[in-house]
Amino acid sequence: MATVPPHILVVEDDRETRALIARYLRANGCNVMVAADGHEMDRHIANSRVDLIVLDLMLPGEDGLSLCRRLRASSQLPVIMLTARGEDVDRIVGLEMGADDYLGKPFNPRELLARINAVLRRQAAAVTASSLKGTTALGFLGWRIDLRLRELRNPEGARVALTSAEFDLLQAFCERPGRVLSRDNLLDLTQGRASGSFERSIDVLVSRIRRKLERGPGETDIIKTVRSGGYLFTPVVDPS
């Protein structure tokens, strides 16, 4: 399944730094726009799609803190702030103004990309959770999971038998698509620590669910194993 490249707006007055960030992000699959100040930032936001803003703290005219405060008053666009300052007070003020993350200069462009991806994943998970709130059924790849009746139906409408533990785990995945969930996360979301369950039980349940969802060569990675991470539910999930 193809993914849409994120549209990143880099607001940085230093030409070399701006060019370095833009070049690296473009080389790693991002669509990038650049701005040297708040006026150019406003123009891009008004005329283009923007998924996240990399915002320098020290800008000519209106500074990054003021711009971040103004952005938060009118939108939920994710913001990662950059600054040459290292004092904790600057980081704290930036976060209080609504920044989603904070990175001090000098920085490794790889770390900036990792932080961008992490912020975008968190936002996607929050949007999904909000959109699914109060939903009684969810659909993916033609499958339908009824949260009220606690049953799963395949694309032909036939009921697929699930144990209670299997259903709880599949529900946890469906409510958090596209998000890497560790075994600890899944235990907390489904069985809880008080149950005395252990991580290996998650692996067993995932294996059982995979067998029940497997319908052809193209559907074997519905639940993807992430090395040293856990599991990732790959389909797009919609209220059904």
pLDDT tens-digit readout, 168-199:
999 999 988 888 888 887 887 776 544 444 55
* Mean residue pLDDT across the chain: 84
Pairing of strands 151-153, 238-239: unpaired
CA 20 to chain centre: 25
The pLDDT of 195-206, averaged and rounded, is: 70
Contact partners, residue 161, CB within 8 Å, separation at least 6? 212
| Domains of the chain as residue ranges with CATH | 7-131 (3.40.50.2300), 134-239 (1.10.10.10)
pLDDT beyond 50 at 45: yes
* 171 close to 132: Cβ distance less than 8 angstroms: no
Q: What is the pLDDT of residue 29?
A: 92
Pairing of strands 101-104, 79-83: parallel
Pairing of strands 52-56, 79-83: parallel
Q: What is the pLDDT of residue 131?
A: 59
User: Is residue 78 classed exposed, middle or buried when 0-12, 13-18 and 19+ CB atoms within 10 A define those classes?
Assistant: buried
Q: What is the pLDDT of residue 2?
A: 40
State pTM to two decimals: 0.58
pLDDT beyond 50 at 222: yes
- Alpha-carbon distance 104 to 141, whole Å? 42
- Alpha-carbon distance 202 to 2, whole Å? 28
